[in-house]
Chain A
Amino acid sequence: RPPKGLLLRAENIGEFEFFSLHARIRNYTTEFESCRLEAVSLEFGDYHPLKPITVTESKTKKMSRKGSTSSTSSSSSSSVMDPLSSVLDGTDPLSLFAATADPVTAAANMDSTRKKRDKEDHLAVGSDFEPWSSKRGEILARYTTTEKLSIVSKVTTPGSAVSEKVRTRLEELDDLEEGSQKELLNLTQQDYINRIEELNQSLKDAWSSDQKVKALKIVIQCSKLLSDTTVIQFYPSKFVLITDILDTFGKLVYERILSMCVDSRVSLPDNFTPESINDTAKETCLNWFFKIASIRELIPRFYVEAAILKCNKFLSKTGISECLPRLTSMIRGIGDPLVAVCARAYLCRVGMEVAPHLKESLNKNFFDFLLTFKQIHGDTVQNQLVVQCVEIPLYLTLYSPAIDWILQCIAYRAPEGLLTEMMERCKKLGNNALLLNSVMSAFRAEFIAARSMDFIAMIKECDESGFPKHLLFRSLGLNLALADPPESDRLQILNEAWKVITKLKNPQDYINCAEVWVEYTCRHFTKREVNTVLADVIKHMTPDRAFEEAYPQLQSIIQKVITYFHDFSILFSVEKFLPFLDMFQKECVRVEVCKCIMEAFIKHQQESTKDPVILNALLHVCKTMHDSVNALTLEDEKRMLAALINGFIKMVSFGRDFEQQLSFYVEARSMFCNLEPVLVQLIHSVNQLAMETRKVMKGNHSRKTAAFVRACVAFCFITIPSLSSIFARLNLYLHSGQVALANQCLSQADAFFKAAVSLVPEVPKMINIDGKMRPSETFLLEFLCNFFSTLLIVPDHPEQGVLFLVRGLLNVIQDYTWEENCDDKIRIYTNVLHLLSAMTQETYIYHVDKVDSNDTLYGGDSKFLAEINKVCETVITQILDHLKTLGKDEALKRQSQLALYFFNTILAHGDLRNNKLNQLSVNLWNLAQKHGFADTKTMVKTLEYIKKRSKQPEMSHFAELALRLPLQSRT
């Protein structure tokens, strides 16, 4: 008993005795009844919070019937349909009515929106048109060089007698600045790209600093580079880089002229007419065209004019449709076929963007190209190739991007007849492999697939020395992966194609082809054919470890096989599948492949399995993943691998063969010991297994099942300590202890709980959660509350004292070094009082089937109750001491909160007919309010609650209590 002098404001708390709780006697069953929610019959009203959208919709529909609003308003309102409300749509009578209310206007709406959409389609390219931007990267990656490049600004001296004035004017356009005719030689590819990027930047700079002429000069310089075909294998990439600059320029000019038209008040509509353009803008626009028309050299003149093609819209309605054919025929003047075809590709690109409805010039471009096709085999080109040491097959591939693009533009939403005509035209030319390839990559897959046999025949006829054949087969394969050929041809196609593919000598060529054709095989054939194909790939890729160079392709093969074979028992019965996996010898690739397989398994496997083939194969796969984990593995990676392995473990079930199941878990534990989440999963699985067993035996274990359950429990007990996360261990101990208790393994349960108790002191103050250090107290508090609830039903061990575990836990809590300035310990103590009051009841609130808890063991023995009371006294003393200390430390807010918390506990669990306890509660009430830190609302609510309780039977003393509890009004 503390000396009186230390009792700060003791008169308020009252003379301290050792309080015992005097727990209220409770009848849990009746309390349960009274607490249960009242059953209210469910009414399906018209109102639903998720439904307002459908209501507004019906409104707009009605309006459109009057014909006043445009159809767009209603269609837009229905387009923002909430996914939730769309579920309601069918069942709700109101929206049903709205949907069928006015079929005529609905149809009209549909019609007009469709018309509108058609119109839009006509003016702009739809989303099904593969844009240039997606091709760009591909081209840049594909056409590279190690040769040295150079940027040479050609000095052009105009011939004969030119007046000084004219000369300067021309030079002004030709040269970037005085003395800029420098040559940049010996650039590496990267330098070259950087240099072009610099030019792009300086174009923007010049433009923004209002140096329009300089900007034009830069653009001209850039497009001049396109007439240079040295280092020809880089040309397509150069084309991409430079046309980027041209695009920038075109956009800048267009926007500038557009900005001149904007009268600060009204901005132009998208489809403006030339009449609405003011004179200044027109004049500026004309000036640009005049300036460009006087560019001396053909190639820059063409490119720059094409770049600002869109500006024709400002001048006249027919401007673009007149310009396109002229520019198309202008390209005829370009001698080099590669340069010319790229120019055509650019014109088509600009044309598609600005006026996709002008198809004629697209076709004309292609026909012009066909006319000049013979040039490719002419002397000029051949001589050039000899000088540059470029082989014909390589040279021909340089044409592909441009031709592909042109054909793609032509084929976009083109009628079947046109495609056939195009194909016939291509056929007529000698060595048409190049064209054939482009046709295959640009035309609709359905078109190609339907004529697969024709294509195969054509490919076979092609000249060996020309365009590489494997590329042709690859293109065909790509089409067949997208569209199905006629049923009757399928096997023949595969046979014909594979006959050629298997003869390819170069492993890279081979695998590029095979990769594509695997998809076709998987799509249309059974595991037998796939097996053959895989075997063939293995045969080709194994010599000289060729597979090392082809991991991406091999990986994509695996992915395709997995996509088409969802049934893993079939997949693993493909004999060559596992040998195929063996080709992935680089660890990171192998793990990637394993991950893919496991992802597919988790996604597609519907039922749990015990198929030994699948289990063996997947255990092998998982083992590979697990073994890749080392000290350097990232947390995320580990988490992902563990999730995949866990997914697999969950899918394994041996049905009623529990022993087999357990031994599988044991095996898995030995295999995956490095991944903690997997161990946690295994413990949960084993616990579940134990509970399954209990369920099967309906709670009555036979000798055999009891032994099995003990084995399960033992599994958990020895596995838990190997975990490093302390809370995982604590929770699993508790959880496993509960499972052991449920299976009547009392001593094992005791062992779990003891282990948990002895682990609590090791809980660190800070724990790492998702890479951040956080205080562990809240977790500990949660765990301990959970633990105490379990301890209520754990029977005392006959050899240990009464309440051995509770006392042990209290001691641990007492000794634990709690955070300074923190009341968690006291909160726990208050919670312990809940436990203790529950323990004094005659019948406990819950039980475990077939386990006698302390209520039955002691049968309300007075000695037992006295023991509990003793513990109560100690705990209450601790609480009150702490309250006093808080008062001394001037931590008055915390004091108020704790006092109220304690007050509530007494209110709920204490028997307030006991005078001492009654007095204590009044004192606590006053203490809570004393320093004005109490929340008035809470206090009022509490008081109301007490008054309400007092009306219940046997609770009349609450009324008196309420009278003794003053409410402090806040001043």
Chain B
Amino acid sequence: MGTALDIKIKRANKVYHCGEVLSGVVVITSKDTVQHQGISLTMEGAVNLQLSAKSVGMFEAFYNSVKPIQIINSTLEMVKPGKLPSGKTEIPFEFPLLVKGNKVLYETYHGVFVNIQYTLRCDMRRSLLAKDLTKACEFIVHSQPQKGKLMPSPVDFTITPETLQNVKERALLPKFLIRGHLNSTNCIVTQPLMGELVVENAEAAIKSIELQLVRVETCGCAEGYARDATEIQNIQIADGDVCRGLPIPVYMVFPRLFTCPTLETTNFKVGGQDTDDRH
């Protein structure tokens, strides 16, 4: 085996906030001494926007992907060209997470049309005979918890055949009445969504009650805005014909990587919404 390059970030969960110092070590393991033309470390953060096929058509969607927006980019020369001894070499590094100008460090987010990703890349340049070595590693940025206490905004809801949208023949639906409440409509992303739901009555046997988490992404570009809703997570909260009149808990942990707090900038927008389904 030749030389192995690895990046170890100090925090186990790889989560950092704006203004903190990202630190860690680059680990180089090799049996022999390593001749190299310099080792550098790059920290990058970028927003990638992808146009939805629905709004702009296939071709544009394929070709016209919007140019990535860079949030942060800095490079560090770790080691000058030279030799590294055989065995394991650890080179510590530190990056302050600061942005220039009026740019904002958005939270890491993996969506369909919007992607915000932060990476650390370590490059070892070598002479012509040996290949350059590269190792990339993602780290996660969370924005600072909001200042000031969030006011919970509880909401009660009722679902009947009448309240359903996009139903073709309302008359064919069996009668039912479902009541419930959510503890809050705007939630802290790190806390689970909670609430209760009561099946007051239902003519037909219930098969399943599911909770669907949907996100809305809006992309803007030259042609206008594209707004798309996609499901992130679908959680079953009732299986089978549940007891009538008994409150069933509504509970969902937000998948952190795929959700983000509602965010609006000039170019893109992400929001969340959820629905109850009944089959």
Question: 8 Å CB contacts to B: which residues of A346-399?
Answer: 368, 371-372, 374-375, 378-380
How many A residues touch the partner, as a band? 35 or more
- A159-B231 in contact given A283-B12, A333-B242 (Cβ < 8 Å): yes
A170 to B235 Cα, complex, angstroms: 11
Set A158, A279, A334: member contacting B12, Cβ < 8 A: A279
A329 to B237 Cα, complex, angstroms: 11
A330 to B236 Cα, complex, angstroms: 11
Which residue from chain B places its CB closest to the CB of A286 in the assembled complex?
B13
Q: Are B240 and A336 in contact (CB under 8 A)?
A: yes
Cβ-based interface call for A684 (8 A): no
Q: Are B234 and A159 in contact (CB under 8 A)?
A: yes
Question: 8 Å CB contacts to B: which residues of A274-329?
Answer: 278-280, 282-283, 286, 290, 293-294, 296-299, 301, 326, 329
A651 to B111 Cα, complex, angstroms: 91
Set B192, B231, B253: member contacting A161, Cβ < 8 A: B231
Set B242, B243, B258: member contacting A166, Cβ < 8 A: B258
Question: 8 Å CB contacts to A: which residues of B192-249?
Answer: 192, 205-206, 209, 212, 228-243, 246-249
Question: 8 Å CB contacts to B: which residues of A244-291?
Answer: 278-280, 282-283, 286, 290
Cβ-based interface call for B256 (8 A): yes
Cβ-based interface call for A756 (8 A): no
Q: Are B231 and A298 in contact (CB under 8 A)?
A: no
Set A158, A278, A332: member contacting B246, Cβ < 8 A: A332
- A298-B236 in contact given A283-B13, A375-B243 (Cβ < 8 Å): yes
Q: Are B235 and A335 in contact (CB under 8 A)?
A: no
Cβ-based interface call for B95 (8 A): no
A301 to B112 Cα, complex, angstroms: 26
A19 to B55 Cα, complex, angstroms: 133
The number of residue pairs between A and B whose CB atoms lie closer than 8 Å in the complex comes to 108
Cβ-based interface call for B110 (8 A): yes
Shortest C-beta distance, A351 to chain B (Å), equals: 18
A873 to B252 Cα, complex, angstroms: 110
Shortest C-beta distance, B83 to chain A (Å), equals: 33
Shortest C-beta distance, A67 to chain B (Å), equals: 45
**In the complex, what residues of B have CB within 8 A of residue A30's CB?**
none
A588 to B235 Cα, complex, angstroms: 60
Question: 8 Å CB contacts to A: which residues of B242-275?
Answer: 242-243, 246-249, 251-253, 255-256, 258
Cβ-based interface call for A703 (8 A): no
Q: Are A297 and B236 in contact (CB under 8 A)?
A: yes
Q: Are B229 and A297 in contact (CB under 8 A)?
A: no
**In the complex, what residues of A have CB within 8 A of residue B253's CB?**
290, 293-294
Question: 8 Å CB contacts to A: which residues of B1-36?
Answer: 11-13
Which residue from chain A places its CB closest to the CB of B205 in the assembled complex?
A380
Q: Are A162 and B230 in contact (CB under 8 A)?
A: yes
**In the complex, what residues of A have CB within 8 A of residue B11's CB?**
279
A339 to B251 Cα, complex, angstroms: 20
- A158-B231 in contact given A279-B11, A335-B206 (Cβ < 8 Å): yes
Cβ-based interface call for A971 (8 A): no
**In the complex, what residues of A have CB within 8 A of residue B192's CB?**
293
Cβ-based interface call for A495 (8 A): no
From A159, A296, A333, name the one whose CB has the most chain B CB atoms within 10 angstroms: A333
Shortest C-beta distance, A388 to chain B (Å), equals: 15
Which residue from chain A places its CB closest to the CB of B231 in the assembled complex?
A162
- A380-B239 in contact given A326-B249, A326-B251 (Cβ < 8 Å): no
**In the complex, what residues of A have CB within 8 A of residue B228's CB?**
161
Cβ-based interface call for A163 (8 A): yes
Cβ-based interface call for A165 (8 A): yes
Cβ-based interface call for A606 (8 A): no
A170 to B133 Cα, complex, angstroms: 34
Question: 8 Å CB contacts to A: which residues of B49-88?
Answer: none
Set B13, B212, B232, B248: member contacting A333, Cβ < 8 A: B248
**In the complex, what residues of A have CB within 8 A of residue B233's CB?**
166, 294
Q: Are A330 and B232 in contact (CB under 8 A)?
A: no
Shortest C-beta distance, B166 to chain A (Å), equals: 12
Q: Are A299 and B243 in contact (CB under 8 A)?
A: no
**In the complex, what residues of B have CB within 8 A of residue A283's CB?**
12-13
A293 to B232 Cα, complex, angstroms: 13
Q: Are B13 and A279 in contact (CB under 8 A)?
A: yes
Cβ-based interface call for A160 (8 A): yes
**In the complex, what residues of B have CB within 8 A of residue A719's CB?**
none
Cβ-based interface call for A73 (8 A): no
A290 to B239 Cα, complex, angstroms: 21
Which residue from chain B places its CB closest to the CB of A374 in the assembled complex?
B243
A293 to B194 Cα, complex, angstroms: 13
Cβ-based interface call for A227 (8 A): yes
Q: Are B231 and A166 in contact (CB under 8 A)?
A: yes
**In the complex, what residues of B have CB within 8 A of residue A293's CB?**
192, 252-253
A282 to B277 Cα, complex, angstroms: 35
A330 to B256 Cα, complex, angstroms: 22
Shortest C-beta distance, A148 to chain B (Å), equals: 23
**In the complex, what residues of A have CB within 8 A of residue B235's CB?**
294, 296, 298, 301
A160 to B277 Cα, complex, angstroms: 12
Set A299, A329, A335, A368: member contacting B241, Cβ < 8 A: A335
Q: Are A296 and B12 in contact (CB under 8 A)?
A: no
**In the complex, what residues of B have CB within 8 A of residue A161's CB?**
228-231
Q: Are B240 and A335 in contact (CB under 8 A)?
A: yes
Q: Are A371 and B251 in contact (CB under 8 A)?
A: no
Question: 8 Å CB contacts to B: which residues of A68-95?
Answer: none
A653 to B212 Cα, complex, angstroms: 89
A378 to B249 Cα, complex, angstroms: 22
Shortest C-beta distance, A396 to chain B (Å), equals: 18
**In the complex, what residues of A have CB within 8 A of residue B252's CB?**
293
A688 to B231 Cα, complex, angstroms: 97
Q: Are A165 and B246 in contact (CB under 8 A)?
A: no
A326 to B209 Cα, complex, angstroms: 18
Q: Are A335 and B251 in contact (CB under 8 A)?
A: no
Shortest C-beta distance, A206 to chain B (Å), equals: 24
Q: Are B110 and A335 in contact (CB under 8 A)?
A: no
A326 to B236 Cα, complex, angstroms: 15
Question: 8 Å CB contacts to A: which residues of B102-139?
Answer: 110-112
Could you jot down 29 A-B contacts, CB within 8 Å? A158-B234, A159-B277, A160-B231, A163-B111, A166-B258, A170-B234, A282-B12, A290-B253, A293-B192, A294-B235, A296-B235, A297-B236, A298-B235, A301-B235, A301-B236, A326-B249, A330-B249, A332-B243, A333-B209, A333-B237, A333-B238, A333-B239, A333-B249, A334-B242, A335-B239, A336-B239, A336-B240, A371-B246, A372-B243
A sample of 7 more A-B contacts (CB under 8 A), given A299-B239, A326-B251, A371-B243, is: A158-B234, A159-B212, A282-B12, A286-B13, A333-B239, A335-B238, A336-B241
B residues at A contact (CB < 8 Å)? 11-13, 110-112, 192, 205-206, 209, 212, 228-243, 246-249, 251-253, 255-256, 258, 277
10 pairs of A and B residues whose beta carbons are closest in the complex:
A335-B240, A333-B238, A293-B253, A279-B12, A163-B112, A283-B12, A380-B241, A335-B241, A298-B236, A372-B243
A residues at B contact (CB < 8 Å)? 158-163, 165-166, 170, 227, 278-280, 282-283, 286, 290, 293-294, 296-299, 301, 326, 329-330, 332-336, 339, 368, 371-372, 374-375, 378-380
